[in-house]
Amino acid sequence: MSNIAKIVLIGANHAGTAAANTILDNYPRHGVVIFDSNNNISYLGCGTALYIGGQIDDTKGLFYSSKEILEGKKAKVYMETSVEHIDFAQKKVFAKDSAGRELSESYDKLIIASGSLPIRPKIKGIDKTNVEYVKLFQDGQKIYQLLASPDIKRVAVVGAGYIGVELAEAVRRRKKEVLLFEAAGRSLASYYDDWFTGEMDKILSGNGVELHFGELVSEIKGGEKVTGIDTDKGSYQVDLVVMAIGFRPNTGLAAGELETLANGAYKVDLHQETSKSGVYAIGDCAAVYSNALEDSAYIALATNAVRSGIVAGHNAAGTPLESAGVQGSNGICIWGYNMVSTGLNLAAAEKAGFSAQYTQFEDLQKPAFIKENNYPVKIRIVYDKKTRRILGAQMASYQDISMGIHLFSLAIEEKLTIDKLKLLDIFFLPHFNQPYNYITMAALSAK
Ligand SMILES: Cc1cc2nc3c(=O)[nH]c(=O)nc-3n(C[C@H](O)[C@H](O)[C@H](O)COP(=O)(O)OP(=O)(O)OC[C@H]3O[C@@H](n4cnc5c(N)ncnc54)[C@H](O)[C@@H]3O)c2cc1C
C-alpha cells in the first residue's frame, strides 16, 4: 500500500470528476483537493444541442456530479476558483477565487484536467454582441435565450464539425433560418468519407439548413451587434453567429514547464504522466495515444476524458495502470440519421502516410421480408494495404447501428487485419440482421 498522499486536481469537468471519483471511491485514505474556475461540475456538452433545440425539457439531467457529491466523499472543493500558477519545484498551486481572494495548496501528486477552449478566429468583428461559442452550460443557456427573441431570425453557424451540424439542427428546430458555413467542401469531413457525408448534407439541406460549404468566413458585420457575415464568396444578413470551429487545449498554465504536442496539448505516457514525475494530465488538455496512428494525437472527447481520468486516478493514488489507447470512436444523430465511426477515415489514413484501402457494403439491416423498422445500412472499413491492419470504420443508417462500431474499435486496438473479420462468427436472426451480414460481406470483398 502506498503512503497517504495529498492529490490536487485542477479542473473538475469530465476528466477531473473521473479522476476524483476513482481516488475518492478506491483510495479514501488519500486527501483530494479540487479547483474549478466554473460554478458547475460534470456538464454534458453533448446535451447542448438537444437543450437548445427544445428536445429535452429539463437541464438537470445534463449534470451527474456536483461540489456537494464530491464533498460528501470527503474532497475539499474550491468552485469558481482559478489556479493561476503552479510552482512545480515547491509542489504548490496558487489560485484566486471569484471575490479576488488568493489561496494556495501544496500537493504530493498533481492532476491537471484544465480541458479545452473554443477556437476564436482572428477575424474582424469577432467581438461583436451575438457572436457566441458552444462550450459551457452557460453558453447553451445564452443561445437558448437568444433564440427565444423574435429579433433573432437568421443564424449563421460557423463550422460543420459534429457540434456545428448538431447546432444547425437545433436552431432549425427553433424555427429560425440557419446558414451553415464550412471551409471544407462538406460536413463532418474529419470523421467521415464523402460516401457518408453526402447523405448527411442532403438531410441537412432537406431540412432547410442553407449550406455554404467551401466558404471561408472573413468578417462579422454590424455595429455593436451582429447584422451580417462576409465570406470569400458572399455577404449574408444574419442576427446571430454561433462559432463552432473547434477546440484548443487549455494549457497556458504550465506553458514552457511541461512538454507538449505542436497544438499545445500536454504530452503524457500511458500512465497519463506528463514530462514531470508525479504530474498527470487528462482529458482535453492532454494528448492521447491513438492505436490507429500508433502515435500521440489530440482527440478531444468526453469518453477519452473519462478514461484518462480513471487511469490517472489509479496511478496518482499508487496503483500502476496503463491506458489502452483510443480509437476516437464517435457518433452523431441528425434528424434521426445515425452515423458512427472509429479510427481513421480514408482521407485521414492517407494523410497519416498509410497506403490506405477500403472495402464497403450497403444492404438492409434485416431480410427484406421484415417490413417494419428495417433500413439500409452503409459500412466502410479502411485498412492498410501492406499490413492489412484495420485502421478505421464508418457506418450510417436510420437504424440504430451504433453498437456495431465497438467491434471495430476493439479490432483497431487489437491490431486485427481485415482478413480476420472474413469468417468471424456473427449470429443471425431475422429480427436483428441478415444471414449474409454486411460486416462479413464487406470483409469478404476486401481486395
Ligand atoms: C457542444 C459539445 C458537445 C459535445 N459532444 C460530445 C459527445 O457527444 N461525445 C463526446 O465524447 N464528447 C463530446 N464533447 C466533448 C467533451 O465535452 C469534452 O471532450 C470534455 O468536456 C472534456 O472534458 P475535460 O474535463 O477534459 O475538459 P473540459 O470539459 O474543458 O473541463 C475543464 C474544466 O477545467 C476547469 N479549469 C480550466 N482551467 C482551470 C484553472 N486554471 N483552474 C481551475 N479550473 C480550471 C474548467 O472550468 C472546466 O470545468 C462535446 C463538447 C461540446 C462543447
Distances from the Cα of 111 to the Cα of 119, 272, 274, angstroms: 24, 9, 10
Predicted TM-score (pTM) of the model is 0.96
Nearest CA to ligand 1 atom 30: 115
CATH numeric code, 6-41+61-114+253-317:
3.50.50.60
Beta-bridge partners for 7: 32, 109
Return the C-alpha cell found at 245: 470551429
Please check whether residue 10 is in contact with residue 111, taking contact to mean a CB–CB distance below 8 angstroms: yes
- Give me the tens of pLDDT residue by residue for the chain, a chain 447 residues long: 557 899 999 999 999 999 999 999 999 999 999 999 999 999 999 999 999 999 998 999 999 999 999 999 999 999 999 999 999 999 999 999 999 999 999 999 999 999 999 999 999 999 999 999 999 999 999 999 999 999 999 999 999 999 999 999 999 999 999 999 999 999 999 999 999 999 999 999 999 999 999 999 999 999 999 999 999 999 999 999 999 999 999 999 998 999 999 999 999 999 999 999 999 999 999 999 999 999 999 999 999 999 999 999 999 999 999 999 999 999 999 999 999 999 999 999 999 999 999 999 999 999 999 999 999 999 999 999 999 999 999 999 999 999 999 999 999 999 999 999 999 999 999 999 999 999 999 999 999
Cite the residue boundaries of each domain of the chain with CATH code 3.50.50.60: 6-41+61-114+253-317, 118-245
Q: If one looks up domain 336-444 in CATH, what number appears?
A: 3.30.390.30
User: What would the grid cell of residue 49 be?
Assistant: 444541442
pLDDT at residue 3 in the model: 76
Q: Which of 17, 21, 37, 306 to mutate to test the pocket of ligand 1 (most atoms within 8 A of CB)?
A: 37
Of all atoms in ligand 1, which is nearest to the CA of residue 81? 43
| Ligand 1 pocket residue status of 354, Cβ below 6 Å | no
Give Cβ neighbours of residue 262 (< 8 Å, ≥ 6 apart).
Answer: none
Any ligand 1 atom below 6 A from CB of 135: yes
Helix (H, G, I), strand (E, B) or coil at 363: strand
User: What does the alpha-carbon distance between residue 305 and residue 112 come to, in Å, rounded to a whole number?
Assistant: 12
Cα(265) to centroid(ligand 1), Å: 14
Report which ligand 1 atom has the smallest distance to the Cα of 44: 17
Portions of the chain given CATH number 3.30.390.30: 336-444
Taking the centre of ligand 1 as the mean of its atom positions, its distance from the CA of residue 16, in whole angstroms, is: 10
Pick from 36, 188, 303 the residue to mutate for probing ligand 1's pocket: most ligand atoms within 8 Å of its CB.
36
For the domain made up of 118-245, give the CATH fold: FAD/NAD(P)-binding domain (3.50.50)
